[in-house]
Structure 1
């Protein structure tokens, strides 16, 4: 599968590395050309401009900080119209750990409206270090990855990409439910900023057992 990646940060690195290892063909673009070239070299892939990456892609991954999303979407325009877009982003500010989007409206819906692509929300609930794991497995069980969207073909493509990195896909609804995944991410991010280890952020039972008054 040809995957075009927009963004050259930790999430692009983690997911792109796993997909390259699974045999997918990648092309990347980003705000910092040097970072994009470094990742392309790591994967044996190519870099290009926004339009070039969009033309190359059968499926696009948008992986940028929410502060840069408006600029990224302006550069993408409608170049990915009708294509599958995987959105792993979280519009969460880290002072109060709340969403910056309009109440009840998700970033995933904003991306779909701006690009005309078929957006699926996925990969937004774990730190990049989790996606770097070769087959994320905890207590002998594959990591479950919630995803949601409206287009059947886009959902099927995303399901396969989740399985390709050794995880268990779990569809949780249509794109309206992306708002709930983003809200859940606000809690996850607050826990990570509070010092929780990324691989065990939900290991609350063990923490309670270790606490005298737990």
Structure 2
């Protein structure tokens, strides 16, 4: 698969290097190279700050393209885990009509994708995906598998805002020194009883 990556930061490199190791063709493009990067890829990863999205999306046509949104609308190094925007993936879909947007890869830091291990406490790392296009979701599922993680369809693009809020909450816990994985029991211990 050909993957165009818009961004030059740690997340862009971590995911891009993982996909290159799995045999995909990768092209990195900075903000001013959006059109060429989108044209190159079967899939385009947006790995830029949320503040740059309007500029990036205005520089090329994303019509019919699968676009992976891994952005988060907070600055993790600022110490404040407050969302500056509560529906980034939906905004991308609105500003890039015709794009097949999938929210993914926004819950883990780049260091997780740079590491060789994807199994923690005997469980493979799961990557929630939110999107409305079945073909785009299937492409992103393949890319998740290629990084040795497990894709989980988490609903339509309208549910991506919950992933975005979850990232702020979970990252805030990690920065506070709490183990976010300890908040929820494993699947076999989680059940609901109807009232």
TM bucket normalised to smaller: 0.7 to 0.9
Residue 69 (structure 1) shift = 2.0
**Structure 1, residues 64-92: CA drift from partner, whole Å, max 9, x if none?**
1122222222223xx22111000001112
Contact 1:136 1:143 in 2 (8 A): yes
What's the TM-score once normalised by structure 2's chain length?
Answer: 0.85
Q: Residues 132 and 95 from structure 1, CA distance in 2 versus in 1: closer, same or farther, beyond 3 angstroms? A: closer
Residue 195 (structure 1) shift = 4.4
Contiguous gaps of at least 5 residues in structure 2 = 185-195
* Cα distance in structure 1, aligned partners of 2:112 and 2:182: 14
Residue 132 (structure 2) pairs with residue 169 (structure 1): no
Residue 203 (structure 1) shift = 4.4
Contact 1:134 1:165 in 2 (8 A): no
Give the count of matched residue pairs. 181
Contiguous gaps of at least 5 residues in structure 1 = 32-47, 206-214
Residue 93 (structure 2) pairs with residue 112 (structure 1): yes
Residue 145 (structure 1) shift = 0.8
Contact 1:65 1:89 in 2 (8 A): yes
Contact 1:135 1:165 in 2 (8 A): no
One of 119, 127, 133 as aligned partner of 1:137: 119
Match of residue 202 from structure 1 = 181
Contact 2:4 2:45 in 1 (8 A): yes
Q: CA RMSD in A?
A: 2.0
* Cα distance in structure 2, aligned partners of 1:183 and 1:156: 24
